[in-house]
Amino acid sequence: MPIQLRGENHRLEIITILPDERRMFREPLWVTNAKLMEDSWRCGVRAVKGEIVEADEIVRCLEMVMDGGDESRDMRKNAKKWRDLAREAVDDGGSSQVNLKMFAD
């Protein structure tokens, strides 16, 4: 369940220093990842927008994922699929290892 982190402690996550020393603010990757998890990969739910995620919102998200209905079953199935694909990519001879070796050579 992606929960967005906000506030002063996370300002550094959104600053990128470019080669010419200019600073550029960009959308943090965790926002993009949360959207992908919910909309494209269908393996998570997003907490409502706000500065603080309250306990009842976490309970709501957990119930959506764990209630045993068709949608939650599909989310868990998709999460397992993506987990297996990620493990395959980082195993010996997997695409991550092959691509890193090609890049290094």
Q: How many domains does the chain have?
A: 1
pLDDT in tens, 1-45: 454 445 444 444 444 444 444 444 455 666 777 888 888 888 888
Assess if residue 76 is contained within a domain.
yes
Q: Domain limits at 32?
A: 8-104
Residues 3 and 60 sit within 8 Å (Cβ to Cβ) = no
pLDDT in tens, 44-88: 888 887 778 889 988 998 898 888 889 999 999 999 999 999 999
* pLDDT at residue 49 in the model: 74
Q: Is residue 79 exposed (0-12), middle (13-18) or buried (19+ Cβ within 10 Å)?
A: middle
Assess if residue 3 is contained within a domain.
no
Assess if residue 29 is contained within a domain.
yes
Confidence of residue 93 (pLDDT cuts 50, 70, 90): very high
Assess if residue 23 is contained within a domain.
yes
